[in-house]
Amino acid sequence: MSPVPKPAAAYPATRLRRPRAHAWSRALFAEVALSPADFIWPLFVTDGTGERTAVPTMPGVERLSVDLVAEAAKEAEGLGIPCIALFPNTPPERRTADGREALNPDNLTCRAIKAIKNAAPGIGVLTDVALDPYTTHGHDGLLAEDGRILNDETIEMLQGQALVQARAGADIIAPSDMMDGRVGAIRKVLEAGSFHDVQIMSYAAKYASAFYGPFRDAVGSGGFLKGDKKTYQMNPANADEALREVALDIAEGADSVMVKPGMPYLDVIARVKDAFNIPVFAYQVSGEYAMLETAARAGLIERDRMIIEALTAFRRAGCSGILTYYARDAARLLG
């Protein structure tokens, strides 16, 4: 009987490379998984029929007319993407200082909701509640004569906007305006209107970020914006404040919360998840997408690997799901 070999003292007892040696083992030991069910696909809606217009600052992203949005929703449903997010490019002639087009039951968003529900009834529809796509000044709220954003008066408009979208068939109302108290006010009117099952996904920690520029081009609000949004969107230096914002929105009736932008704020996502254990979503915003896609098209990074790695980072940080312009591409890669 041969003696049991004695391990060399210099060799480690634990070798963390062992589980990495084979693809099957790497899959078995993966701490998080990514699937098409984790994605919400943002779509930009424009007027017309059969209209498909490129967004120059977002390579590969297009504004789609309502009929093409419905086709995209059918494609998303087939790929296993569970939800579409809608953002309208309101024509300039329909924009006003008070953003009253947001209350029009036949506006672009409402028409797109109905078209999606007819074409792909099994897919969810998330709608943005804020006034910036509808105002002549590009702000998310109403302006006072001295340029201040009017919090409480804006909330009255947001309540009406939320009701219009719920009546059209929206499944998730997502207020992105960052007015104080708007989640509770919207929940109140939804309950009063018997929309008990309509969810609220609050943009709870939305930062005054430089990463939004291409999005504003896509919805046509960039050229209208007067000043900045720093008096209502959060200071990028603050993370503790994000926890206070999230706590308030949960108390007011939010079903889930969002951190925006995404990748520069992974620390905030992780802290929110650890603190509240509520469904947390991230928006991989237009500036993030534009940087990654431009680098990929220049041959600086491997596109397919980059897409999956970036989206996996959100899941690792604690996200239940991600709003991403890569939703269709990622679903195809994973499928």
Supply the residues annotated as catalytic. 206, 260
Instruction: Report d(CA 265, CA 333) in Å as an integer.
Output: 25
Whether residue 182 contacts residue 209, with contact meaning beta carbons closer than 8 Å, is answered with no
Cross-strand partners of 323: 40, 283
Structure tokens at 53: 């217009």
